[in-house]
Amino acid sequence: MPSANPADDTAAGVDIAALLERGRAMSTPELRAAVDRLASPMDTVAAYHFGWIDAHGLPADGDGGKAVRPALALLSAEAAGARPEVGVPGAVAVELVHNFSLLHDDLMDGDEQRRHRDTVWKVHGPAQAILVGDALFALANEVLLELGTVEAGRATRRLTAATRKLIDGQAQDISYEHRERVTVEECLEMEGNKTGALLACAVSIGAVLGGADDRTADTLEEYGYHLGLAFQAVDDLLGIWGDPVSTGKQTWSDLRQRKKSLPVVAALAEGGPASRRLGELLAADAKSNDFASFSEEEFATRAALIEEAGGREWTSQEARRQHAVAIAALDGVELPEQVRAQLVALADFVVVRKR
Amino acid sequence: MPSANPADDTAAGVDIAALLERGRAMSTPELRAAVDRLASPMDTVAAYHFGWIDAHGLPADGDGGKAVRPALALLSAEAAGARPEVGVPGAVAVELVHNFSLLHDDLMDGDEQRRHRDTVWKVHGPAQAILVGDALFALANEVLLELGTVEAGRATRRLTAATRKLIDGQAQDISYEHRERVTVEECLEMEGNKTGALLACAVSIGAVLGGADDRTADTLEEYGYHLGLAFQAVDDLLGIWGDPVSTGKQTWSDLRQRKKSLPVVAALAEGGPASRRLGELLAADAKSNDFASFSEEEFATRAALIEEAGGREWTSQEARRQHAVAIAALDGVELPEQVRAQLVALADFVVVRKR
């Protein structure tokens, strides 16, 4: 049972920071060992991407991200009654697939910054971004399949299915960029593919490696999928109204990238005066040649219209709705009580986080 | 037993054309069904790449390649005493991986033509080339793992290992472009990774799906690896001295691309007068700005120097040497006599082909 120690500043006494740190500490050595298997110069390029070295090859202590996925993969093993160690190859494989997609997406999207640093294609060129992405994807399968068990085959199959969805989501994201209007449903489907599917896999992969049956794995994936949608809704809020000091991104980050994120599509769908005015402005922005030189005020105007048209409130509610669906999904599975409390606490953390 | 019908214009009475056609006919419907699973527009982009539709989306009857790999994957199943059908998912998975690598390599190398048509990145843009390549790689694993058997897991593991080598080979190929000198050994290692590994996997994957043990699979891979090296040596010869009408490539194709292929590196290693003159010319070419406007005569001069320095003869001998090693490897494994004759005949075909 979780402690009810009032000194714990977290839901139901679960120490989220410790949970995330455990996932990072247990999976990073294995992740680094896997990346070390890559032939030169791919090992160096990958180490740069992960933030372990800088552009000159010197050791760095980069921001490796929030490490929600590794924490989930370890909890996933415990959900099946296995030791958390059993989930480590799953955590590593999911991180490898996640980072394969980041390497390719950054190149496809022309994004020049990731985790406060130049992206791989900017530093090492497009060919290395493609090649090292491919290598990380292959490595993900290798790390699982070399376990040589039936469970590893099932885990790889689930990871492959999630990867296919990830790719579908990126294809949708790219096609939406060329369209003037995207519906809320289309945006949710895209975010489900891009963020939900791999988070879902993180929540099932440890359990599958630990011998869980398909029904248990599917139910855990349902929790993970909706957790992913809640996570993305919060990301979309932070992408417009996040504090740059916390997020490490520019002010109005997603507006600068003209992203058709949830607050934007929800505001455009509302149809009132602010919604229509926003639509006119964004349509003009899409054709504008001096968009890059827009002032803070111009972005602030757009953010205010999104808020006035209800895009901010709708997205907040959507995050809470997905959070509730995620937690409800846990009722469908037998779980050790501590694991259940930790999964609930992680879901709570995802919707209140500031970065 | 193979027939000794003197009307058969092939080694030991094996009808190579029929063998290749069987591989194509049995695997193409499954390959098309797999590609049809891709979400739009990735299905269309992939269909264009495979030559099934043209750039306007109209049905086409493109050159799908020689189909050596599918033929091998089916023979591989028969090598393990299974029906050829058992090898079909393996044939499809290997073709998917092969084409994933073509999509990415063409983009990385800036190649604008493939199988007489514009490459995917030229027609559909770099993002689609990356995305559809990724999707084909994921699909390869999916096609195998959805079989849900222990054998499928083992086959996927071998395919993953081959894919990692494929990626290593492309990394070497890219790094060699920036170097003035490449040794014969480095060139062979690169070609073994880029061509040998996946051909080796084609020769083991059907057997693994048919229940063969690891020793049998390893021996079949040894045959396939050296077959791949023989295949590539012949490709390197055709890339310089091939008849454009047969190969569908330009005259002096590899010289135009400044490829450090086997005849070139062997000629440069020889060290005599022609070798040194060749080295001077190629070093100047690397810095030349009007290389693109070189005349037929200028390429003919280089080809003649390569031949004079023994690069052509060395590469022909290398093809025969690898051919012999491939066939010798078959002595290490119990095989139905007809399968053995067909594998030998395919090896003979690979070294005498004109395209």
pLDDT in tens, A134-153: 999 999 999 999 999 999 99
A340 min Cα distance to partner chain B (Å): 30
Q: How far apart are CA A17 and CA B176, in angstroms?
A: 46
**Residue A194: its chain B contacts at CB < 8 A?**
none
As given in the structure block, the two tokens for residue B325 are 């090693």
B8: in domain: no
Q: Give the nearest chain B residue to A152 (CA atoms).
A: B153
Alpha-carbon Rg for chain B, nearest whole angstrom, is 20
A124 min Cα distance to partner chain B (Å): 12
Q: How far apart are CA B142 and CA A156, in angstroms?
A: 9
Q: Give the nearest chain A residue to B170 (CA atoms).
A: A131
Q: Measured in whole angstroms, how far is the alpha carbon of residue B96 from the centre of its chain?
A: 13
Min mean pLDDT across A24-38, A48-62, B86-100 is at: A48-62
For residue A343, what are the CA distances in angstroms to A2, A11, A347, B314? Answer: 12, 11, 6, 64
Q: How far apart are CA B353 and CA B355, in angstroms?
A: 6
The single-letter DSSP state of residue A80 is T
pLDDT(A282) > 80: yes
pLDDT(A20) > 80: yes
- What is the model's pLDDT at position B179? 85
- What is the model's pLDDT at position B11? 55
Interface list for chain A against chain B, based on CB atoms closer than 8 Å: 39, 41-42, 100, 104, 107-108, 126-127, 130-131, 133-135, 137-139, 141-142, 145-146, 148, 150, 152-153, 156-157, 160-161, 163-164, 167-168, 170-172, 174-175
Q: Measured in whole angstroms, how far is the alpha carbon of residue B186 from the centre of its chain?
A: 18
CB contact under 8 A, A152 and B153: yes
Q: How many helices (H) and strands (E) does chain B have?
A: 17, 2
Alpha-carbon Rg for chain A, nearest whole angstrom, is 20
Peptide bond into A41 cis (omega under 30): yes
User: For helices B337-352 and B68-79, what crossing angle results, to 10°?
Assistant: 160
B1: in domain: no
Q: How far apart are CA B84 and CA B195, in angstroms?
A: 23
For residue B344, what are the CA distances in angstroms to B9, B13, B206, B236, B354? Answer: 15, 11, 17, 22, 18
For residue B304, what are the CA distances in angstroms to A150, A295, B134, B309? Answer: 57, 64, 41, 9
**Residue A146: its chain B contacts at CB < 8 A?**
157
- What is the model's pLDDT at position A179? 85
What tens digit of pLDDT does each residue of A80-134 get?
999 999 999 999 999 999 999 999 999 998 888 888 889 999 999 999 999 999 9
Min mean pLDDT across A63-67, A236-240, B47-51, B142-146 is at: A63-67
Cβ atoms B281, B218 nearer than 8 A: no
Cβ atoms A143, A96 nearer than 8 A: yes
- What is the model's pLDDT at position B88? 98
- What is the model's pLDDT at position B63? 64
What tens digit of pLDDT does each residue of B8-29 get?
445 568 999 999 999 999 999 9
B2: in domain: no
Supply the range of the domain harboring residue A20.
13-352
Residue A112 half-sphere exposure, CB side, CA atoms within 13 Å? 3
A4: in domain: no
B287: in domain: yes
**What mean pLDDT value characterizes chain A?**
93
CB contact under 8 A, A160 and B153: no
CB contact under 8 A, A156 and B145: yes
CB contact under 8 A, A167 and B107: no
Q: How far apart are CA B156 and CA B153, in angstroms?
A: 5
Interface list for chain B against chain A, based on CB atoms closer than 8 Å: 39, 41-42, 100, 104, 107-108, 126-127, 130-131, 133-135, 137-139, 141-142, 145-146, 148, 150, 152-153, 156-157, 160-161, 163-164, 167-168, 170-172, 174-175
What tens digit of pLDDT does each residue of B319-344 get?
999 999 999 999 999 999 999 999 99
Q: What average pLDDT score do residues B99-120 get?
A: 92
Q: How far apart are CA A66 and CA A55, in angstroms?
A: 22
Instruction: Using CB atoms, pick whichever of A138, A167, A172 lies closest to residue B135.
Output: A167
- What is the model's pLDDT at position A64? 66
Count the domains in chain B. Answer: 1
- What is the model's pLDDT at position B64? 66
Q: How far apart are CA A178 and CA A332, in angstroms?
A: 41
**Residue B175: its chain A contacts at CB < 8 A?**
41
For residue A257, what are the CA distances in angstroms to A263, A282, A285, A292? Answer: 14, 12, 11, 10
- What is the model's pLDDT at position B1? 38
CB neighbour list of residue A42: distance below 8 Å, 6 or more residues apart: A128, A131, A132, A135, B167, B171
B6: in domain: no
Helix, strand or coil for residue A137?
A: helix
For residue A34, what are the CA distances in angstroms to A61, A92, A210? Answer: 19, 8, 21
CB contact under 8 A, B134 and A137: yes
Cβ atoms A212, A80 nearer than 8 A: yes
Helix, strand or coil for residue A113?
A: strand
Q: Which candidate in A35, A37, A137, A150 is best for mutational testing of the B interface (most B CBs within 10 A)?
A: A137
Other Cβ atoms closer than 10 A to B113: 14
Q: How many residues does chain B have?
A: 355
CB contact under 8 A, B134 and A174: no
Residue A113 pairs in a beta bridge with: A118
Instruction: Using CB atoms, pick whichever of A139, A148, A153 lies closest to residue B145.
Output: A153
Count of pairs with CB atoms under 8 A, one residue in A, one in B: 110
pLDDT(B57) > 80: yes
B3: in domain: no
Q: How far apart are CA A98 and CA B272, in angstroms?
A: 52
Q: How far apart are CA A280 and CA A262, in angstroms?
A: 18
Helix, strand or coil for residue B134?
A: helix
Single out the residue of B62, B49, B160, B57 nearest to residue B106, CA to CA.
B49
For residue A248, what are the CA distances in angstroms to A40, A63, A211? Answer: 31, 10, 40
Q: How far apart are CA A50 and CA A201, in angstroms?
A: 21
As given in the structure block, the two tokens for residue B107 are 């983009």
A1: in domain: no
**What mean pLDDT value characterizes chain B?**
93
Secondary structure element (H or E) that encloses residue B114, with its range: strand B113-114
What tens digit of pLDDT does each residue of B115-130 get?
888 999 999 999 999 9
- What is the model's pLDDT at position A12? 63
Q: How far apart are CA B63 and CA B26, in angstroms?
A: 17
- What is the model's pLDDT at position B286? 87
Helix, strand or coil for residue A53?
A: strand
Q: Which candidate in A45, A98, A131, A166 is best for mutational testing of the B interface (most B CBs within 10 A)?
A: A131
Secondary structure element (H or E) that encloses residue A214, with its range: helix A214-241
CB contact under 8 A, A146 and B135: no
Single out the residue of A114, A242, A110 nearest to residue A173, CA to CA.
A110
- What is the model's pLDDT at position A249? 78
pLDDT(B137) > 60: yes
pLDDT(B283) > 50: yes
Task: ipTM value, please give it.
Answer: 0.94
Q: How far apart are CA A84 and CA B116, in angstroms?
A: 53
Residue A114 pairs in a beta bridge with: A117
Domain containing residue A198: CATH number: 1.10.600.10
B168 min Cα distance to partner chain A (Å): 7
pLDDT(A205) > 90: yes
Instruction: Using CB atoms, pick whichever of B104, B142, B168 lies closest to residue A39.
Output: B168
pLDDT(A340) > 80: yes
Min mean pLDDT across A155-164, A245-254, A303-312 is at: A245-254
Cβ atoms B325, B347 nearer than 8 A: no
% of chain B exceeding 90 in pLDDT? 82
